[in-house]
Amino acid sequence: MAFEYLDHISDVCIRASGETLSEAFCEAARAMFNLMVDIGQVAPREAVKVRVSARTPKLLLVEWLGQLLSNKDLTGLIFSRFSATIEKKGEQITLVGSARGEAFDPSHHEAKTEVKGVTYAGLRVWEEDGQFIAQCVLDV
């Protein structure tokens, strides 16, 4: 499990990997929140549930990350720990998961940058050497 930031001139391209698709997606979420704050400083005190569906794994990635961004503003929480179960049923792939974190506190969490949206740019989900890799560009 790991994530990295690839060079992109105006925005940020995240690439996350894991032994399963779910792990890669959770790492992508960590990569996204680590742009906003140092996720090492965020305790997993509270949890929110997330359920998203899409036609393809890469569209599911955008839905998942987009839903987490919405939840950040709706709850006032920032997240650092994620779980996800991904299942394909017919034409749809569904992710059921959760995000854990705590209320953002500027005196405790050092603010980094704001993420505005999850784009279709550089959007890819693939399997390589037994690893699942998820990648996309975030508008910051």
Partner 1 sequence: MAEELELERISEAEWLLPKHGEMRAPARVIADELTIAQLRQDTVEKREWNALRQLRDVACLPGIVGEALALPDVHPGYGFPIGGVAAFDAIDGVVVVGGVGFDINCGVRLLATPLDRAALASRADDVARDLFDTVPAGIGSEGNLRLPMSEIDELLEQGASYVIERGYGLTDDIEFIEENGRIEDADPSAVSTVAKQRQFRQVGTLGAGNHYLEVQEVAEILDREAAAAYGLTEGQIVISIHTGSRALGHQIGQDYLKVMEEASRKYHIPIRQQELVCAPITSPEGSRYLSAIACGANCAFANRQVIAHLVRSVLHRIFGMSPSSVRTVYDIGHNNAKFEEHTIDGEIRRLLVHRKGSTRAFGPHHAESPAIYRDVGHPTLVGGTMGTASYVMHGTDLGMTKAFGSGIHGAGRALSRKKAAKKYWGEDVKSDLLSRGIILRAHSTRGIAEEAPGAYKDVERVVNAAVRSGISRPVARLIPIIVIKG
The residues of the shown chain that bind partner 1, judged by CB under 8 A, are 5, 7-12, 36-37, 59, 62-63, 66, 69-70, 73-74, 76, 78, 104, 106, 110-114, 116-123, 137, 139-140
Tell me the DSSP string of 52-107: EEESSHHHHHHHHHHHHHHHHHHH-EEEEEEEEEEEEETTEEEEEEEEEEEE--TT
CB of 49 to partner 1, least distance (A): 15
Nearest CB to partner 1, comparing residues 43 and 76: 76
Q: How far is CA 17 from CA 1, 46, 78, 90, 105, in A?
A: 5, 25, 22, 26, 29
**Min CB(51)–partner 1 separation in Å:** 14
CB of 33 to partner 1, least distance (A): 11
Q: State the nearest-atom distance from the C-beta of 138 to partner 1, in Å.
A: 9
CB nearer to partner 1: pick between 44 and 122: 122
> Which CB sits closer to partner 1, 13 or 23?
13
Residue 125 C-beta: closest distance to partner 1, Å? 13
- 3-state SS string over 93-126? EEEEEEEEEEECCCCCCCECCCCCEECCCCCEEE
Lookup: tokens for 84:
């996800």
DSSP 4-20: EEE--SSSEEEEEEESS
**Is 85 or 113 the residue whose CB approaches partner 1 more closely?**
113
> Whose Cβ is closer to partner 1: residue 11's or residue 46's?
11
